[in-house]
Amino acid sequence: MKPARRIALTAALAAVALTIFVAESQIPPVVPIPGVKLGLANIVTLVSMVVLGRREALAVLAVRLVLGSVFSGGFSGFMFSVAGGVFAYIVMAALVGLFPEKLLWVVSVFAALAHNLGQLLVALFVTGTPGIMYYMFILAASGVVTGVFTGIASMLLIRAVRRSGLSNR
């Protein structure tokens, strides 16, 4: 892929991720459990990693985290988003090449669990309450469900991107 096309696609995916992140922050919670969200913007990060590569996926994530906090979260939201996003990114980067593409949903589940862990560690740091870690059991259950959903959505989007000719990978 030509460098200009790669940059344009990275920018477009960053814009999509940011739009999804801001839109999702405006949607009332699907379940009445604090912290449980679908994490739809993570679809774009995973798609970016598979279609473009780790460096571009990190750029998409960075744009989403910084501008997402400017538009909807403030500093507190930024801390939680960075921790969750970075933990999820590290897991995605480590696992994307290890699993075949038809099992990308598994990568997404592990990334969702890592995202939850990252956010809980920030909550532990902010509150100083170790008991908050028990909340991981609830978040783990939601992470599996949302991870499967976002993983399947990622797989379908990757197929669509490839069929469109936007990617050489």
> What is the widest separation between alpha-carbon atoms in the chain?
51
Q: Output the pLDDT for position 29.
A: 78
Per-residue pLDDT of the chain (169 residues; tens, 9 = 90+): 788 989 999 999 999 999 999 898 888 877 777 777 888 999 999 999 999 999 999 999 999 999 988 887 678 888 989 999 999 999 999 999 999 999 999 999 999 999 999 999 999 999 999 988 888 999 999 999 999 999 999 999 999 988 988 776 6
CATH classification number, 3-164, choose in 1.20.1440.230, 3.40.50.720, 1.10.10.10, 1.10.1760.20: 1.10.1760.20
